[in-house]
């Protein structure tokens, strides 16, 4: 029964994300659009059907990690000895980076709201690194405009695509810690996407490959 409930929750989140994706995309491209400033103490449950791209969450408290909910695969494990983050595609010098190399990169930490539409909301303090310097290091070619993040490897592979402008601005980045702790396995260890203004379906867990397109 628990497996069935999990499956139904996944389907609800995916359906909700698909139905609302167009609205989220419009909100992200409207330059200077005013966001709704959420007052301190706003119940997160009241935001389950809101568009994250339209919300200013700077007044919200951080959700305790023990209260985090999750969707999709929760038990994927990697062997860090042979695991690498790969950056390939339209680049001059493809990269394969170890977990320790990623931990040594200049850090980026931000509180960002994750909404799985109709299911749950959580406001985490996500810490990781910007992909911008890595794309410079890889040498992006030509007039590419997007990246695609893939994870995890295997039968449950998922992908999400993001405009380069959102990557370079830091709105979309990769995280390895949340709320001051290493990212738990069920939340995507060793790396997951953090995507401000996007629904949770695009926050790819167990990220392992980035393709520049």
Mean pLDDT, residues 109-138: 97
Domain containing residue 56: 2-212
In this predicted structure, what is the pLDDT of residue 153? 81
> Looking at 20-24, 80-84, 118-122, which range is the least confident one?
20-24
Specify the pTM.
0.84
Task: Count the domains in the chain.
Answer: 1
CATH number at residue 49: 3.90.420.10
**Structure-model confidence comparison of residues 20 and 150, the more confident one:** 150
Query: Of 141, 165, 144, nearest to 92 (Cα)?
Result: 141
pLDDT tens figures, 159-203: 999 999 999 999 999 999 999 999 999 999 999 999 999 999 999
DSSP string, the chain: -HHHHHHHHHHHHHHHHHHHHHHHHHHHHSTTPPPEEPPTT--GGGGTTS-GGGEE-TTPPPPPGGG----S-------TTT--EEEEESBSS-EEE-HHHHHTSPPEEEEEEEEETTTEEEEEEEEEE-SHHHHHHHTB-TT--EEEEEE-SSTT-EEEEEEHHHHHTTSEEEEEEETTEEPPGGGTTT-EEEETTS-GGGS-BS--EEEE-
pLDDT tens figures, 92-102: 999 999 999 99
């Amino acid at each position: 029964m628990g497996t069935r409930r999990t499956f139904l929750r996944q389907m609800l989140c995916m359906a909700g994300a698909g139905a609302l994706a167009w609205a989220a995309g419009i909100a992200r491209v409207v330059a200077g659009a005013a966001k709704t400033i959420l007052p301190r103490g706003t119940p997160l449950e009241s935001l389950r059907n809101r568009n994250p791209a339209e919300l200013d969450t700077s007044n919200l408290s951080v959700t305790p990690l023990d209260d985090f909910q999750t969707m999709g695969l929760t038990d994927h494990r990697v062997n860090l000895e042979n695991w690498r983050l790969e950056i390939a595609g339209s680049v001059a010098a493809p990269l394969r980076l170890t977990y320790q190399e990623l931990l040594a990169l200049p850090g980026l930490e931000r509180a960002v709201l994750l909404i799985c539409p109709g299911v749950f909301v959580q406001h985490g303090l996500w810490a990781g690194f910007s992909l911008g310097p890595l794309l410079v290091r890889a040498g992006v070619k030509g007039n590419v405009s997007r990246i695609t993040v893939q994870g995890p490897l295997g039968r449950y592979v998922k992908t999400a695509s993001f405009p380069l402008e959102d990557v370079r601005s830091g709105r979309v980045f990769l995280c390895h810690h949340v709320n001051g702790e290493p990212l738990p396995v069920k939340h995507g260890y060793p790396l997951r996407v953090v995507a401000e203004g996007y629904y949770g379906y695009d926050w790819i867990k167990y990220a392992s490959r980035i393709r520049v397109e």
